[in-house]
Structure 1
Amino acid sequence: MSTINKTKKIKAVDFFCGGGGMSYGMQKSGIQVLAGIDYEEKCKETYEANIKNAKFIKADVFELKVEDLETELNLKRNDDELLLIGCSPCQFWSIINTDKKKSKKSKNLLKEFGKFVKYFNPGYVVVENVPGVLRMKGESGLGAFIKWLKKNNYKVHFDVHNTVEYGVPQNRKRFTLIANRITENELEPIKARRTLTVKDIIGKANGFPEIKAGHIDSSDFNHTVPNISDITLRRLEKVEKDGGNRLSFADDPELQLKCFIGRDSSFKDTFGRLWWDKPSPTITTKFFSVSNGRFVHPEENRALSLREGASLQSFPKSYKFIGTSMGSIARLIGNAVPPEYAKRIGKAIINNHKNAI
């Protein structure tokens, strides 16, 4: 192992950076983020508005050459203070997505990220993805990637973690890999001391004024929520506060949805309210829709607002989301790595580096 310079800051390059959840958390941990790379132009404004002193590079990893990245960011090979992060879009391996043709290209993104790791041989590597990449580790390329890391003297931790254990008020299971060739330690994200609930994060006591469906907030706070039809409002008025679900209106022939007649045990979270005293369910890209999961406010007759979804993802209230529609902003939020989780990964890496011999 090489000589470690403990006075130097760890610097990171965030591949598939999206709206910057991982980069923001890493910065908060004390890691210097050099750049975020993403093919989606739609991420650029949000990334640049929040991730200060980092470059946004619009690039497709299938076409990006390692030498070009090396030159643009002045990177060095075998750099003990370099961290490469790969949180590739995961539609192909997700249990939620059913259209595999659309997402087929995303199945090889981990392999493409691997070529940068093999070339630069950084001190640290982080991969975050859906649990499906582990279930299908042969096909996803994960098995071969872990084998290469171990063969090249990395200590590798990989597992499926629930972010609720790491300071995020949300049940969100994610595959996480942390590889380290600086010490003999297998690094894990640092756990939180207590579990946060919905009540800790949203509601009037936490600065979220009561609003009605259709409310538009033109400020950066973005406490914006879509409108709903009259019949949907009538359904929500029947759903019990604090954790109720669509069974509250199942016996009303006017309000019951035809697709659920005789299927009371199916998709019970549809039109379901969050519980105040529990963490939220996984914040998906459709969290602003009452019919796409348990995304109804615990008391108010509406879906979660954009800012409420972001807060349950552990973004600070000052984080700016820039998009052309509610849907585009919700995608940035729902696809993000929760910043608090990223921070706890970063802290584990920094602690390890400080304690290296």
Structure 2
Amino acid sequence: MENKTNTLKAVDFFCGGGGMSYGMLEAGINVLAGIDNEENCRRTYDANIGENKFINADVFNLKEDELEAKLNLNKNDDDLILIGCSPCQFWSIINTNRNKSTKSANLLIEFARFVKYFNPGYVVVENVPGVLRKKNESGLEDFIIWLEKNNYVVHFEVHNVSDYGVPQSRKRFTLIANRVTTEKINPIKKEGKKVTVRDVIGESNGFAKINDGHKDNTEFIHTVPTVSKLNKRRLEKIKKDGGDRLGFANDPELQLPCFIGKDHWFKDTFGRLWWDKPSPTITTKFFSISNGRFAHPEENRALSLREGATLQSFPKNYKFHGSSTAAIARLIGNAVPPKYAKCIGESITKNHLNGKI
């Protein structure tokens, strides 16, 4: 096996800021291109994955032969991996406005069009668990049926990325299809204890104590929005290391009217992270204490941009570019955690090197 060369190459559809692509690179896979319809992903993708690898295209309008010519792809290529981590708002349980995300409901079907055209050696799909719960509506069931009829061995399951070296509890549907060998490919889990918040952030990990409103103009972006005076008073009442909004529930000046008599509703709102657990799911709103358990374990502020990225398992030198805090947080929260992507890539690489003669 040591004499075999990893000849795998990947095209990353719906690439965003490059979390999946970076993990694939870390697994030794050549990333040919990332495709996304949001041009504002380009600078981040180019800075970390490689210049001129970003293709700004709407998958609904992109034609198979256009992509074939642009990237010099071959059909029936055993070394090719097609990856589809489509935006998942429509199938997410936390979505609040499905009308805005209706178009995303059909992205898997559009991705399948390219898989059927190219018939690659490997296919990867990563999405919210809802795509499996609604497998008829999402197009997943028909896609799996097609894959199996066309000699792919298909693994699909909901995994928690905390089992794969990511310091975050985040459940994701993952499909890995393989027609190169007869093996069913599972992402390779990490042995030992789970990585926790304490393992990756805090002063001992290079994160200086900061106040809310701190702006970091370096590429480290240890930046955090300002907290209102009222919310700061609320945070001061929430106990360190995993406390929640019950800390101020009995204070009539601080209690939120929507939670009066509803102490057990949405308890994560205004909650602090625990030091010795993986973080909760890092969403696109992780910089706001009112949008989940996103308050720092000790400091009276939300998570900084770099802390959120680190909990998503991005390396500290990963460069993010965006027009605002919210724009960068969106790139981070929507990303596939790179360490999870690396585990997927390593499992495919192991299968490929073992299976090829």
User: Is 1:301 the equivalent of 2:287?
Assistant: no
1:213 corresponds to which residue?
A: 212
Moved over 4 A (4+): none
Q: Which whole-Å CA distance do the structure 1 matches of 2:6 and 2:281 have between them?
A: 37
User: Is 1:24 the equivalent of 2:22?
Assistant: yes
Alpha-carbon distance change, 186 to 57 in structure 1, aligned in 2, over 3 angstroms: same
Instruction: State whether residues 34 and 53 of structure 1, in contact with CA within 8 Å, keep that contact through their aligned partners in structure 2.
Output: no
2:164 corresponds to which residue?
A: 166
1:64 corresponds to which residue?
A: 62
What is the TM-score with the length of structure 1 in the denominator? 0.98
Q: Which whole-Å CA distance do the structure 2 matches of 1:212 and 1:9 have between them?
A: 48
Q: Which whole-Å CA distance do the structure 1 matches of 2:39 and 2:172 have between them?
A: 25
Number of residue equivalences: 353
| Cα drift, residue 7 of structure 1 | 3.2
Is the partner of 2:12 in helix, strand or coil?
strand
User: Is 1:263 the equivalent of 2:262?
Assistant: yes
1:38 corresponds to which residue?
A: 36
What percentage of aligned pairs have identical amino acids? 71
In angstroms, what is the RMSD of aligned CA positions?
1.0
2:147 corresponds to which residue?
A: 149
Q: Which whole-Å CA distance do the structure 2 matches of 1:261 and 1:133 have between them?
A: 34
Instruction: State whether residues 34 and 54 of structure 1, in contact with CA within 8 Å, keep that contact through their aligned partners in structure 2.
Output: no
Give runs of aligned pairs for residues 120-269 of structure 1, distance below 5 A: 120-194=118-192, 195-269=194-268
After superposition, give the CA deviation of every residue in 1:185-232 in whole Å (9 maximum; x if it has no partner). 000111011300000010000000000000000000000000011111
Q: Which whole-Å CA distance do the structure 1 matches of 2:331 and 2:273 have between them?
A: 21
Runs of 5+ unmatched residues, structure 2: none
Paired AA for residue 217 in structure 2: S
Q: Which whole-Å CA distance do the structure 2 matches of 1:15 and 1:165 have between them?
A: 25
1:310 corresponds to which residue?
A: 309
Paired AA for residue 48 in structure 1: D
| Cα drift, residue 346 of structure 1 | 0.2
| Cα drift, residue 52 of structure 1 | 2.0
Range moving further from structure 2, 165-174 or 47-56: 47-56
2:99 corresponds to which residue?
A: 101
1:290 corresponds to which residue?
A: 289
Q: Which whole-Å CA distance do the structure 1 matches of 2:322 and 2:345 have between them?
A: 28
After superposition, give the CA deviation of every residue in 1:122-144 in whole Å (9 maximum; x if it has no partner). 00000000000100101100000
Alpha-carbon distance change, 54 to 30 in structure 1, aligned in 2, over 3 angstroms: farther
Q: Which whole-Å CA distance do the structure 2 matches of 1:301 and 1:110 have between them?
A: 41
Instruction: State whether residues 6 and 28 of structure 2, in contact with CA within 8 Å, keep that contact through their aligned partners in structure 1.
Output: no
After superposition, give the CA deviation of every residue in 1:136-171 in whole Å (9 maximum; x if it has no partner). 101100000000000000000000000000100100
1:353 corresponds to which residue?
A: 352
Q: Which whole-Å CA distance do the structure 2 matches of 1:98 and 1:157 have between them?
A: 30
Instruction: State whether residues 297 and 304 of structure 1, in contact with CA within 8 Å, keep that contact through their aligned partners in structure 2.
Output: yes
Q: Which whole-Å CA distance do the structure 1 matches of 2:206 and 2:166 have between them?
A: 18
Instruction: State whether residues 33 and 54 of structure 1, in contact with CA within 8 Å, keep that contact through their aligned partners in structure 2.
Output: no
Instruction: State whether residues 202 and 208 of structure 1, in contact with CA within 8 Å, keep that contact through their aligned partners in structure 2.
Output: yes
Q: Which whole-Å CA distance do the structure 2 matches of 1:273 and 1:99 have between them?
A: 27
Q: Which whole-Å CA distance do the structure 1 matches of 2:34 and 2:50 have between them?
A: 11
Q: Which whole-Å CA distance do the structure 2 matches of 1:112 and 1:270 have between them?
A: 36
Is the partner of 1:177 in helix, strand or coil?
strand
Instruction: State whether residues 6 and 349 of structure 2, in contact with CA within 8 Å, keep that contact through their aligned partners in structure 1.
Output: no
Is the partner of 2:211 in helix, strand or coil?
coil
Range moving further from structure 2, 258-267 or 306-315: 258-267
What is the TM-score with the length of structure 2 in the denominator? 0.98
Q: Which whole-Å CA distance do the structure 2 matches of 1:343 and 1:63 have between them?
A: 30
Give runs of aligned pairs for residues 266-277 of structure 1, distance below 5 A: 266-277=265-276
Give runs of aligned pairs for residues 327-338 of structure 1, distance below 5 A: 327-338=326-337
Is the partner of 1:102 in helix, strand or coil?
helix
Paired AA for residue 93 in structure 1: W
| Cα drift, residue 344 of structure 1 | 0.3
| Cα drift, residue 260 of structure 1 | 1.1
For 1:52, which of 50, 53, 58 is the aligned residue? 50
